[in-house]
Amino acid sequence: MIGGIDLGGTKIEARLFDDTALQTCDLRRVPTPLDDFDALFAGLIAQIDWLRDQADDPDLAVGVCVPGVIDPQTGAVWAANVPLSGQDLGAALTAHYGRSLPVVVDSMAFAYSETHGGAGQNGRCVLGLVLGTGVGAGLCLNGAFPSRAAGLAVEIGHVGVPARALARHGLPLWACGCGRAGCWETCISGTGLTRLASHVTGQTIPAEQVTDPATLDIWVDLTGEALATLQNLIDPDVIVIGGGLSRRADLIARLPAALDMHRLGQTRAPAIRAAQHGDSSGARGAALLAATRC
């Protein structure tokens, strides 16, 4: 068996996987302690210990994925919504257990999971685009993570939306949680879809319930332009869509045509697929990493 943990802003999710088909055998979610790092670390340790108890294996391989950025030189994590910033979580886990546990950025774990036995299987260059509360992305090249100088994943969520795209729909520069304005995250995330609906209809509607055709047309067009930006920069052969909006099959089905409207010249378009492993993909990717490093 293998363990994977997805540490997020609202919950710490622990999943126990069998080590053949990597199917979830057991699952426990607990609220994320947000008071300080010590409380958060204690909650994480409790989840790791729970996985090892469930597997009846005190040396169970466990991987952890976290939001934010992990500096590859110092191990320090920088995250906006959890008290991890400035902390070397990997070193803290090593000190506690006497052995290292892999710690990886959640969007990279997602891309890794979908590359290995997921919707990106057999892809040479697989981009995992997570459209949830925010917008994140991860990348796998030939089945592995590319070397990165500062530990950034693919931070498309905090790239500015082109002025032409905002002008097409009469949209303002909305403030982003990163401290800037006009980022992709403000428009094409789940919260972005709710924001678009409010702008168009005057109603506050959860993303999964937005049905207004004009709102959905804007979201699809903007997301198509974001996909074209990613293709221009990275040139993946597969783009796997994850996060809450990946469950909107009505929207995902429209994205290949939306990309065609914006892609450069006659370049070959990447395949666009919904994530195969859904909500488990982050923890699954962390578990896969733990299995390769144990």
pLDDT in tens, 89-108: 999 999 999 999 999 999 99
Phi, psi of 180 (to 5 degrees): -110, -170
Residues forming a β-bridge with 36: none
pLDDT reading at 293 higher than 80: no
Q: What is the pTM assigned to this prediction?
A: 0.93
Helices (H) and strands (E) in the chain, counts: 10, 12
As a CATH number, domain 2-109+279-293 is 3.30.420.40
pLDDT reading at 59 higher than 80: yes
Structure tokens at 234: 């990275």
What's the first-to-final CA gap in the chain, in angstroms? 12
- Tell me how far apart the alpha carbons of residues 145 and 70 are, in angstroms, rounded to a whole number: 13
pLDDT tens-digit series, residues 8-55 = 988 999 999 998 888 999 999 999 999 999 999 999 999 999 999 999
pLDDT reading at 199 higher than 80: yes
Position 285 scores a pLDDT of 96
Beta carbons of 105 and 65 less than 8 angstroms apart: yes
The segment with the largest mean pLDDT, out of 6-10, 20-24, 134-138, 213-217, is 213-217
Domain coordinates of the chain in residue numbers? Answer: 2-109+279-293, 121-275
Position 149 scores a pLDDT of 83
- Fold classification of 121-275 is Nucleotidyltransferase; domain 5 (3.30.420)
**CA-to-CA dists, residue 179 to 71, 136, 222, angstroms:** 21, 16, 21
- Tell me how far apart the alpha carbons of residues 12 and 197 are, in angstroms, rounded to a whole number: 30
Q: Name residues whose C-beta falls within 8 Å of residue 141's C-beta, 6 or more positions apart in sequence.
A: 124, 125
Nearest to 231, CA basis, from 272, 263, 254: 263
Position 150 scores a pLDDT of 84
pLDDT above 70 coverage of the chain, percent: 100
Neighbours of 251 (CB within 10 A): 21
- Tell me how far apart the alpha carbons of residues 225 and 217 are, in angstroms, rounded to a whole number: 12
Structure tokens at 214: 């004009």
Pairing mode, strands 11-17 and 24-31: antiparallel
User: Fold match between 2-109+279-293 and 121-275?
Assistant: yes
Position 230 scores a pLDDT of 97
Across the chain, mean pLDDT equals: 94
pLDDT tens-digit series, residues 233-253 = 999 999 999 999 999 999 999
CB burial string 72-98: b at 16+ within 10 A, e below: eeebbbebeebbbeebbbbebbeeebe
pLDDT reading at 294 higher than 70: no
